[in-house]
Amino acid sequence: MRLLELQGHGEFSLKEFVGENIPRYAILSHTWGKNNDEVTFKDLMDGRGESKPGYNKIRFCAKQAAKDCLQYIWVDTCCIDKSSRAELTEAINSMFRWYHGATECYVYLSDVSVSGSAGDEEFFCRWKPAFKKSKWFTRGWTLQELIAPTSVKFFSREGEQLGDKKSLERTLHDITGIAIQALRGSPLSHFGVDERR
């Protein structure tokens, strides 16, 4: 598994970890932007990418990880060398395990905006309709990214925390149809085949 190590002055370096010796890390769940907007593995290796729009998501993830006392982050767009078919296949096959192993999962909702502050009474009312319609919920990866990690936190495009898997479980259930017990971490073996599908 390849992780971005947070270094001083907002810089990153890629580090490879093998086997069980993987440090605590945060993982970013997001929707991809337009072609060439996302920072790739090659961009990082070539020292480029800071000018791409997707770099803001990496910066957000790093800042939030630092707040949560984590030194490592995983972002799919740049931690996987997609030019290597073998590495891409391994990553796809390992994704559930990587999300499950994350200390924190940050869901960055680029299509959910907030104004005001979290202390404001109307804060929830302003973003909830956009939250329910977010394109993040239409992706094929959403299911595993909701149930695999223990801690899932949702953020607006401004980086404001909207809630977490626990505080939003009823809303998440209503949007996705995922059983509340699955959102709470019950083993998949506790669910019938139809529910798992």
The pTM assigned to this predicted structure is: 0.91
pLDDT, residue 7, reads 87
d(CA 145, CA 147) in angstroms, rounded, equals: 6
* Position 117 confidence tier, pLDDT thresholds 50, 70, 90: low
- Percent of the chain scored above 90 by pLDDT? 68
The predicted model gives 64-72 an average pLDDT of: 96
* Position 56 confidence tier, pLDDT thresholds 50, 70, 90: very high
| CA distance to 9, 19, 34, 144, 194, per residue, from 133 (Å) | 36, 39, 19, 19, 25
pLDDT tens profile 96-109: 999 999 999 999 99
Worst-scoring range by mean pLDDT, 35-39, 87-91, 112-116?
Answer: 112-116
pLDDT, residue 119, reads 56
d(CA 39, CA 51) in angstroms, rounded, equals: 9
* Position 54 confidence tier, pLDDT thresholds 50, 70, 90: very high
pLDDT tens profile 8-29: 777 888 999 988 889 999 999 9
What number of H helices and E strands is found in the chain?
9, 7
pLDDT, residue 164, reads 96
Amino acid of residue 166: K
Whether 116 has a pLDDT exceeding 70, the answer reads no
Whether 130 has a pLDDT exceeding 60, the answer reads yes
